[in-house]
Homo-oligomer: A and B are copies of this chain.
């Protein structure tokens, strides 16, 4: 598949730049930097960097700029995983097949490593090497902060924690996921548009693409959680169901959820029409998101 080669290429670039942007340091503070490196370097498909790089390519943005924005959004993503995994939050021991940061280090170091990555994302975006125009840098920072804040990822995680004691309908789940995971996916595409000084029509089209892609991504996530468990323990219920959480699957059922994901994928790609063949890498991503098995 073309997407796999393209995704590997994007991941290699992102890994290289993350490695450069988070150099190990000596001294007692070296431990938190080590944890920041551990949290960002442990693999991951690098879907968000891929979206930054390929939305930027639509507007012929210099790759040396786009890759820094790509690294910044991945830092933000990894910080959110580190904090979400904490004992007080989702209390997860495993992430990407390895011990989570607080298991590998300790809880205090994991909290600080998350804080450090969140802060570094903004340091990277605001640095002149990310774009010579300060207005572009400030716009990137602002868009990422909105996507990451109480109206975006932080608010979404708050709702998710509260959701264990609430009955969410399909509208509430859609809103939750739009905030918790959709906002950063939308930022990843918006970043390309900002770097490329894109006009309002192109921005709107990319935003609509990202919104549908993000929702499809989450539905497939729910499907994998429900079906993966079905295979392994022979019961039609996964971790979400065990936690009593409403998901797209618990509300729509497997078949309608699958249909809905496919429909959203088609809708996502329809928004890309005006970009022509240049948007093929974004179309491949849609296919990848819908058909992924992990």
Contacts and interface: CB of A to CB of B under 8 A. Distances in A.
Contacts of A83: 111-112, 115
A166 interface: yes
B28 A158 contact: yes
A88 interface: yes
A29 B155 contact: yes
A29 B134 contact: no
Given A29-B151, A114-B115, A128-B138, 8 more contacts: A29-B179, A32-B150, A33-B150, A36-B150, A88-B107, A108-B161, A120-B145, A122-B144
A112 B154 contact: yes
Chain A: number of interface residues, binned into ranges: 35 or more
Contact of A119 (B32, B108, B145): B145
A158 B126 contact: no
Contact of A137 (B111, B115, B134): B134
A83 B156 CA distance: 20
B116 A118 contact: no
Contacts of A89: 108, 111
Interface string A95-117: 00000000000111101101110
By CB atoms of chain B within 10 A, which of A135, A151, A154, A179 has the most?
A154
The 8 closest A-B pairs by CB, nearest first: A134-B135, A29-B155, A123-B145, A88-B107, A137-B138, A126-B141, A126-B142, A32-B158
A127 interface: yes
A149 interface: yes
Contacts of A86: 108, 111
13 contacts: A28-B158, A28-B159, A28-B166, A29-B154, A83-B112, A112-B158, A115-B154, A118-B118, A119-B150, A119-B154, A126-B139, A128-B138, A134-B138
